[in-house]
Structure 1
Amino acid sequence: MDRGDTTGPIVQVRRRVKAGAEQIFDLWTKPDLMVRWMSPFPGTVDCKASCDLRPGGAFSLVMSSEQASREVSGTYVQIDRPRKLVFTWMGPLTNNVNTLVTVELNPRGDETDLVVTHERLPTQAIHEGHTKGWGNILDHLADAVSKDA
């Protein structure tokens, strides 16, 4: 899929997190931190992560639960620390099609408004699952931040 293609369903999930944008940006971009929270499954987080944080650099995730495992990979498109991160996202649940995820961080005092937008999903049928998955991911991120406080 071409980067200019904006067709298909869009998932957008928002959270206000009690942490600074720099801290949250690090959680999204450092593998040793990503493994603590990056999971679309409720409950315990089990994740393996690697990333090459630069435009065009690749990342890969293996997120597991007792019932299932999800492998996802992508490349970084835009890195604007600590405000914005844009990357492709591809795995079995996107029909192995490159989709696009934008993470926006907007500081609000000692908190940060976090907006995740997932575009170019190949079918409406996967919209609900991705909405739940991103919701769980952001819940885990908020838990990871609160454990650091």
Structure 2
Amino acid sequence: MVAPIERQTLTIRRVLKAPPELVFDVWTQPEHMLRWFSPAESYTNPFIEVDLRVGGAYRIAFLSPEGVQSIVGGRYLEIARPDKLVFSWKWEDHDRFGDHETTVSLEFNACDEGTELVMNHEGLPVGPMLEEHNWGWQGTLRRLEKALAAT
């Protein structure tokens, strides 16, 4: 009998110096996402596709500095601009990332400094996948902060 996979929720909070409406839009519009949605400056996005409606799909391609392309996609489960965004998250490369579908929920809370972003990435397998996603999200959110400062 195979033991069940232990899963965990990755929670990250950031205060961003922009209003919730802008943060939400920069998170959901491909022309903005192309400027920041990757874990490091050395990565590029060959494409970002967004069908922003409940049940609509998205796909994001990442190209590493070594030339390795990875694609993640999913469906939008909840859209409440500018307060909340929920979507499924699944890598297309099952050999590298497994066949795990997880859920990402974002809350965009107005605060004195702008927006408190609360991200919960639920259902990540404990171990390397959780660690890789923590690294990826931390870098991606740093890039989001820079993109918002330049907007």
TM-score category by the smaller chain?
0.7 to 0.9
Q: Which has the larger radius of gyration?
A: 2
Structure 1 residue aligned with 2:3: none
SS, match of residue 113 in structure 1: strand
How far apart are residue 38 of structure 1 and its match?
0.4
- Partners of 1:100 and 1:118 lie apart in 2 by 6
**CA deviation vs aligned residue, 1:29-74 (integer Å, no higher than 9, x gap):** 111111111002x224512211111111000000123123321000
Structure 1's 133 and 58: CA in aligned 2 closer, same or farther, altered over 3 A? same
Q: What is the total number of aligned residue pairs between the two structures?
A: 141
CA distance in 2, matches of 1:134, 1:58: 20
Residue of structure 1 equivalent to 2:117: 114
| Paired AA for residue 103 in structure 1 | L
SS in 2 for 1:140: helix
Partner letter of residue 83 of structure 2?
Answer: R
Q: Which runs of 5+ in 1 are unaligned?
A: 1-6
TM-score (norm 1): 0.87
User: Are 1:97 and 2:73 counterparts?
Assistant: no
Percent of residue pairs bearing the same amino acid type: 36
Q: Which runs of no fewer than 5 residues in structure 2 stay unpaired?
A: 1-5
Q: Secondary structure at the match of 1:10?
A: strand
Give the letter aligned to residue 50 of structure 1. Answer: E
Partners of 1:45 and 1:126 in 2: how far apart? 19
Deviation, structure 1 residue 121: 1.3
TM-score for the superposition, normalised by structure 2: 0.86
CA RMSD of aligned residues (A): 1.6
